[in-house]
Amino acid sequence: MESCIINTPLGFTKILGDTEGISEVTVLNSVEKETDVIPDELEDAVIQLREYFEGVRQNFDLKLNPQGTDFQKSVWQLLEAIPFGKTISYLELSKQLGDIKAIRAVANANGKNPLWIVVPCHRVIGSDGSLTGYAGGLHRKKWLLEHEDPYKQQSLF
> Per-residue pLDDT averaged across 42-47, rounded?
98
Beta-bridge partners for 26: 14
Residues for the chain: how many in total?
A: 157
Model pTM score: 0.91
Range 6-26 average pLDDT? 97
Give the pLDDT of residue 49: 98
Section 1-29 average pLDDT: 96
On the question of pLDDT at 104 being above 60, the answer is yes
Which are the catalytic amino acids? 121
CB contact set of 2 (below 8 Å; sequence gap of 6+)? 16, 17, 18, 39, 41, 42
The radius of gyration of the chain's CA atoms, rounded to the nearest angstrom, is 16
On the question of pLDDT at 64 being above 90, the answer is: yes
Please state the rounded mean pLDDT for residues 9-13: 96
Asked if 115 contacts 66 with a C-beta cutoff of 8 angstroms, the reply is yes
In this predicted structure, the answer to whether residue 89 has a pLDDT above a threshold of 90 is yes
